[in-house]
Amino acid sequence: MTVYTATVTVRLKRGVLDPEAETTQHSLERLGFELEDLRSADQFELDIDAASADEAADRAAEMAERLLANPTIHDYDVEVDQAE
């Protein structure tokens, strides 16, 4: 078995209002920065002992489905690297 780090990124689906991101964008603009849009996301790093990277990815995806993301408003993706 090998320990892998699965990085789960949970984003709001396109079209779902993100008031915190809007507020953050306005603050950046008040500081004089120019930007077209700002999107926020939550990122979780999971260390998983698994037989393969695919197995680690599957287990991380199940965790995203069950808890980390809410399918009504979120999309998520999973990337797996061997843990350092």
Partner 1 sequence: MTIAVIQFGGSNCDRDSVRALESLGFEAELVWHEDGLPGSVEGIMLPGGFSYGDYLRAGAMAARSPIMQEVKDAADEGTPVLGVCNGAQIGCESSLTPGVFTTNESARFQCEHVHLRVENADTPWTNHYEEGDVVELPIAHGEGRYEITDERLEELEANDRILFRYCDPDGAVTPEANPNGSKHAVAGVTGAGDHVAVMMPHPERASLADLGRTDGQGVLEGFAE
Q: Does the footprint of partner 1 cover residue 66 (CB under 8 A)?
A: yes
Length of the chain as a residue count? 84
Q: Does the footprint of partner 1 cover residue 67 (CB under 8 A)?
A: yes
Q: Judged by CB under 8 A, which stretch of 27-35, 45-53, 55-63, 70-78 contacts partner 1?
A: 70-78
Sketch the per residue contact string, 24 through 63, with partner 1: x for CB under 8 A, - otherwise.
----------------------------------------
Residues contributing to the site for partner 1 (CB under 8 A): 16-20, 22-23, 66-68, 70, 72-73
